Amino acid sequence: CKSLPETFLFQLLGLSIAMLSTVTHYGLRFTLISNISLDSNSYRVIHHRAFYFGICLSMTLILAALLSSAATVRESQCLTAMGFFCFALAFCGLIPAACWRYTHSTEVEDSMMDVYDFVYEEVRRNTSSFRRHELTAIHEAFLCCGKHSPFGDTTSVEHKTCPPGQVHDEGQDCLQDIQDFLKKHMDFVFSLLGIAIGFTVYGMILTSFLWFSIQFSSNLYRKGKYVLR
């Protein structure tokens, strides 16, 4: 049967996914890029979908853990079946998410770098003072300064938009800093998805074993009893 530590682990996993989704959605760097991105850029769509998916997944895992725990205490086949359904639902959502991350391994990083590249080139062409404020905010959020541009000298842009006192070193590239940050974050997300998939499979096996155990115990309890009519 399902023990209390196992139930706690499933709840902890659900809370971890919810916290990661919240940090990703409301974190300064992520919200800044999302607000700046154009409608043609896919980052904003990914940003919102990832948040809602993470919250739904965390709630499903927590509900599955609670149902399985209640089923163990009450020896209810109905609650056990509901817990199995929640684990199966979470599994069916995790597999496409992991496959999407594998097949679109650089889409998030590329879309975020496209936002920075667009804003930077707008400022370089001096077409918008509003974009200059946005570029300054990006530099302050990511603690980076400028990029290498094939269109000419970028020193004037960096002097206007980089944080005070930050020196532009040769070889420094804000695009590379953004890519490194996103790669580490997405690797962590992918690892958490893998752990969640393993736990959901484990949960489905446990709930299946619990269901058959309750059924077997119920049959033994009725064995040898007769009703006279």
Q: What is the pLDDT of residues 49-59, one digit of tens each?
A: 999 999 999 99
DSSP state of 163: P
Say if CB 210 and CB 70 are below 8 A apart: no
Question: Of the candidates 150, 151, 168, which has an alpha carbon nearest to the alpha carbon of residue 159?
Answer: 168
- The per-residue pLDDT for 96 is 93
3-class DSSP state for residue 65? helix
- The per-residue pLDDT for 5 is 67
Distance CA 1, CA 203 (A): 11
- The per-residue pLDDT for 167 is 52
Say if CB 20 and CB 192 are below 8 A apart: yes
Which tokens go with 40?
Answer: 């043609």
Distance CA 107, CA 141 (A): 21
Give me the half-sphere count of Cα atoms (radius 13 Å) on the Cβ side of residue 37: 23
Counting as low any pLDDT under 70, the low residues of the chain are 1-5, 127-128, 149-156, 164-172, 217-229
- The per-residue pLDDT for 146 is 81
Distance CA 11, CA 18 (A): 11
Q: What share of the chain is helix, strand, coil (3-state, %, to 5)?
A: 80, 0, 20
